[in-house]
Amino acid sequence: MRKPILAGNWKMNKTRDEAIHFALSVEPKLPKEGVEAVICAPAIILRDLVKRCEVIHVGAQNMNENVSGAYTGEISPVMLKDTKVEYVILGHSERRAYYNETDEKINQKIVRAFEYDLKPIVCVGEVLAEREANKTNDVLKTQVTNAFKGVEIANPDNIVIAYEPVWAIGTGKSATSAQAEEACKYIRDLLAGIYGEDVAQKIRILYGGSVNTKNIAELMSMPNIDGGLVGGASLKEDDYITLCNACAK
Could you give the CA distance from residue 153 to residue 151 in angstroms, rounded to a whole number?
6
Binder of ligand PEP out of 91, 120, 165, 209 (CB under 6 A): 209
Nearest to 244 by CA among 36, 11, 15, 14: 36
* C-beta closer to ligand PEP: residue 147 or 229: 229
Candidates 65, 130, 164, 181; catalytic one:
164
Q: Does 91 bind ligand PEP (CB under 6 A)?
A: no
The catalytic position among 36, 92, 94, 130 is 92
Any idea how long the chain is?
249
Touching ligand PEP, residues 135-164 (CB under 6 A): 164
Residue 169 binds ligand PEP, judged by CB under 6 A: yes
**CA nearest neighbour of 113 among 73, 162, 72, 59:** 59
170 binds ligand PEP (CB under 6 A): yes
Nearer to ligand PEP, 11 or 131 (CB): 11
224 binds ligand PEP (CB under 6 A): no
Q: Does the annotation mark 21 as catalytic?
A: no
The residues assigned a catalytic role are 92, 164
Q: Which residues bind ligand PEP (CB under 6 A)?
A: 9, 11, 164, 169-170, 208-211, 229-233
